[in-house]
Structure 1
Amino acid sequence: MKLKKRHWLFLPCLVLLLAVAALASCRKETAVPVKQKLTAPRVNNAAVHDPSIVQTNGRYYIIGSHMQFASSTNLIQWKQLSTSVKDTHLFKNVTGELGSAMHDAETDTFWAGDIEQLQDGKFYMYYCACQGSSPTSVLGVAVADKVSGPYQDQGVILRSGGAIKDDADYNATEDPNVVDPHVFHDKNGQLWMVYGSYSGGIFILKMDEATGKPYPGQGYGKRLLGGNHVRIEGAYMLYNKQTNYYYLFLSFGGLAADGGYNLRVFRSRQPDGGFVDSQGQAAEDIRGKVGTTFDDAAIQNYGEKIIGNFTWKQDGKNVGYVSPGHNTAFQDKKTGKYFVMFHTRFPGRGEYYEDRVHQLFFTKDGWPVLNPAPYDGETKTDYSGDQLVGDYQVVAMDKLITEEPARSKTTTLARDGQVTGQITGKWTNRKGQGTMRINNKTYTGIFVSSWDPYQKAQTMMFSGINPQGEPLFMRRLVRR
């Protein structure tokens, strides 16, 4: 009887110990609040396909395909100024003034344009028109005293394919399709233009500051990468004074919702060549196999990918981006912050698109990573580990060019540096610069407290990159 009594006395203790252990295993990590407080932004998004930005007189302006045009004072609230060639006010009579260019390109619209303010204070618009199913294209320049126009045509500066009067010497597998221009100054003030799409690849030309046109005798200029019709376009150059690198942004894949469009980056100490990715692979080696068209397998392992198709799980639905791409990248003249802006489609919404602005950061190794959340005035600070713990959704992207999105999984960042849940591993933090060792891969990146438009709350984000150039997005789940 005494033995049984002792068992009865022991059972409550055992139950209590098991309960304590269970509670410990279910313990939620509670983060210390950050100093910056963000509130729900009053967002008004623009719809400019292939946006290219210029900052002047306290405003931001973006121009894109079809003469779409928009402006903003804060990168959050945008005013749509035109939606098509028919309603543009950038020219007094765009079809009359640029009618011959449209005729030669066998089209009734324009593709991705670019505006750059040169040293004379005037604004130079680089417009392009393309037949679409072939590289029958023209690229020209127009000039205006104001960024909003009216622009006056200065003539066509490049032609490709059937737009050349005698195109017998044009080779579409080696020569560029003369579209998607980006004109920029290098760190020494020299003017350049990078351009091209599919066909023979991406090229760069040295430009004359006095005329806004290429110096004579260069032909199409210097090839940077591509050829044999691989799907690479939308070249955009960004110089970072702190890292002393030129970053060449490109869109891989097709722009439609099922095209797997995604953004990639290479870097070089010089603007006109020597670009490599985070694996050390040379961009100039990128080329499709002879006789092939749209050979994605030949290109998809190149480049540091910064964003592609991905979804978070929110209230039982998939939210995120579909075919984000054709970006503009810039450093804000007032704040010094870096940004990337691109158009994107959305899960379940077909070909509908809008623009999004995301803040860009650079890792300790000098590679760019993209805040997973759209910009809302957030400023990165030196976060402590106690401000970063909690339950997260994690999206790990690979480098395949596919319409399938990378989907989120859940995990927990604990104070002891453990990563637990559907993804396991370890994490470290040093003043907001983080390392995630998960899935047998190591990602380096940044934490930044941001406004999450899906959770409608401020929360912590992480963006990282691994040595293979694959991005990792994380967002902390908000407790209600």
Structure 2
Amino acid sequence: MLSRLILSLALLTHLTAVAQTPVSTSGITTHDPSTLQKEAGRYWYFSTGHGIQAVSSTDLQTWKLEKPVFERGTWPNWIDSTVRGFKGHFWAPDCIRMNGKYYLYYSCSTFGSPVSAIGVATSPTLDPQSPDYRWTDAGMVVRSKTRDDFNAIDPGLMRDTDGRVYLVYGSFHGGIGAAELDTLTGKVKAGTTVGRVAGGRQSDWEAPALHREGNYYYLFVNNGFCCKGLNSTYYIVVGRSTSPLGPFVDREGRDLTAGGGTLVLRTTGPYIGPGHVGVLREGKQTLASIHYYDADDKGRSKIAIRRLKFRNGWPVLE
């Protein structure tokens, strides 16, 4: 009996360790990674940094820093008159392919300010070595001015099975907003109103990501506080809906606009403050990229890639 108990505990410990180990990590400092993209056998992600940091890999194991989207010290002119004090440090980009091009959405703001904007740039390819590589800015998508607005940072994109594309975004302040995009312009569809799908009342909701699985749409969102290294309290929650524009409710039926949210992932072992979900279907598996603060490396922020699975209709990150 004792031997069986010891064996069971050992097996449980092993399974827990497996569940806590990402598919991939990278030593490159990474914050707010975009949804992974795959082009011509190479994976790409973009993240917070001067000019928008770009990183690539052929195997999800060995990662390489690429040239930034915008040369350091340069950025689209419209930002200067929209976000005073912006100095070229872009936040939390996300990327999606539409119309034979990559659309890269990026955030412009200053820390703690509600004066923010999300812009979009396009390129036929992600490969800087290609003669077709060229990022062309298409201007502002949404903006915010006061703490009552949806703070215009942290864009997340999702293409539905019918080809329609949706944007979720926001941080604290007015909560998380959602709207359908025009797939030709990449901007919010004419006549569309941005609706609140989570948070509000200055509460700690940010970094949204939208994903469809079967008949449900899942809204991943972060609670807690990022950007504090080992002291970061970020954790990921989720709600689901039968519509990409909500309402989203958690496992107990609580609306995410009223404080609901089912826990998906929190600090585990050396992986401090996980957050900023992006989802990529890769063959028969679904991968989720996140960032975390590495307790084994003085709290540096890094990317981790985990398997996304669904059990009883709710997501699990392994």
- Shorter-chain TM-score tier: 0.7 to 0.9
Q: Does 1:151 align with 2:135?
A: yes
- Partner of residue 74, structure 1: 59
Q: Encode CA deviations 1:308-347: one digit per residue, 9 max, x unaligned.
A: 1122xxxxxxxx2111111212221xx2201211111133
Contact 1:45–1:356 (8 Å) recurs in 2: no
Q: Encode CA deviations 1:165-222: one digit per residue, 9 max, x unaligned.
A: xxxxx4x13x211011112211211111111111101011111111111123335x11
Distance in 1 between residues matched to 2:24 and 2:291, nearest whole Å = 19
Superposition map of 1:176-255 within 5 A: 176-218=150-192, 221-240=194-213, 243-255=214-226
Q: Counterpart of 1:325 in structure 2: which amino acid?
A: G
- Partner of residue 63, structure 1: 46
Q: Encode CA deviations 1:356-396: one digit per residue, 9 max, x unaligned.
A: 11111111x1111121xxxxxxxxxxxxxxxxxxxxxxxxx
- Partner of residue 268, structure 2: 310
SS across alignment from 1:113: strand
- Partner of residue 38, structure 1: none
Q: CA 1:367–1:56 in structure 2 vs 1: closer, same or farther (change >3 Å)? A: same
Distance in 2 between residues matched to 1:246 and 1:74, nearest whole Å = 29
Distance in 2 between residues matched to 1:328 and 1:131, nearest whole Å = 23
Q: Determine which structure has more spread, i.e. the larger CA radius of gyration.
A: 1
- Partner of residue 326, structure 1: 276
SS across alignment from 2:257: helix
Superposition map of 1:440-451 within 5 A: none
- Partner of residue 31, structure 2: 49
Given candidates 79, 90, 101, the residue that maps to 2:79 is: 101
Note the C-alpha offset of 1:284. 2.6
Given candidates 15, 22, 25, the residue that maps to 2:2 is: 25
Contact 1:45–1:77 (8 Å) recurs in 2: no
- Partner of residue 405, structure 1: none
Q: TM-score, normalised by structure 2?
A: 0.85
Superposition map of 1:9-20 within 5 A: none
SS across alignment from 1:111: strand
Note the C-alpha offset of 1:46. 3.7
Q: Does 1:160 align with 2:131?
A: no
SS across alignment from 1:110: strand
Contact 1:47–1:343 (8 Å) recurs in 2: no
Note the C-alpha offset of 1:348. 6.1
Distance in 2 between residues matched to 1:327 and 1:213, nearest whole Å = 22
Q: Counterpart of 2:42 in structure 1: which amino acid?
A: R
SS across alignment from 1:284: helix
Note the C-alpha offset of 1:274. 2.0
Q: CA 1:94–1:227 in structure 2 vs 1: closer, same or farther (change >3 Å)? A: same
Note the C-alpha offset of 1:78. 1.8
Contact 1:232–1:250 (8 Å) recurs in 2: yes
Q: Does 1:283 align with 2:256?
A: yes
Structure 1 stretches of 5 or more lacking a match? 1-23, 33-40, 83-87, 162-169, 287-301, 312-319, 372-480
Q: Encode CA deviations 1:405-452: one digit per residue, 9 max, x unaligned.
A: xxxxxxxxxxxxxxxxxxxxxxxxxxxxxxxxxxxxxxxxxxxxxxxx
Distance in 2 between residues matched to 1:274 and 1:154, nearest whole Å = 31
- The two structures, once aligned, show a CA RMSD in angstroms of 2.3
Q: Counterpart of 1:98 in structure 2: which amino acid?
A: P
Q: TM-score, normalised by structure 1?
A: 0.57
Given candidates 309, 330, 341, the residue that maps to 2:289 is: 341
Contact 1:231–1:254 (8 Å) recurs in 2: yes
- Partner of residue 132, structure 1: 111
Contact 2:232–2:272 (8 Å) recurs in 1: no
Q: Encode CA deviations 1:231-280: one digit per residue, 9 max, x unaligned.
A: 1111111111xx32111111111112323101111111111112111111
Distance in 2 between residues matched to 1:43 and 1:100, nearest whole Å = 36
Structure 2 stretches of 5 or more lacking a match? 12-22, 128-132
Distance in 1 between residues matched to 2:45 and 2:111, nearest whole Å = 23
Q: Counterpart of 2:152 in structure 1: which amino acid?
A: V
Q: Counterpart of 2:30 in structure 1: which amino acid?
A: V
Q: CA 1:350–1:102 in structure 2 vs 1: closer, same or farther (change >3 Å)? A: farther
SS across alignment from 2:121: strand
Contact 1:48–1:62 (8 Å) recurs in 2: no
Q: Counterpart of 1:49 in structure 2: which amino acid?
A: H
- Partner of residue 123, structure 1: 102
Distance in 1 between residues matched to 2:313 and 2:300, nearest whole Å = 34
SS across alignment from 1:29: helix
Q: Counterpart of 1:252 in structure 2: which amino acid?
A: N
Distance in 2 between residues matched to 1:326 and 1:101, nearest whole Å = 24
Q: Does 1:270 align with 2:260?
A: no
Of all paired residues, the percent bearing the same amino acid is 30
Q: How many residues align?
A: 293
Larger RCO: 1 or 2 (CA < 8 Å, sep 6+): 2
Note the C-alpha offset of 1:44. 4.7
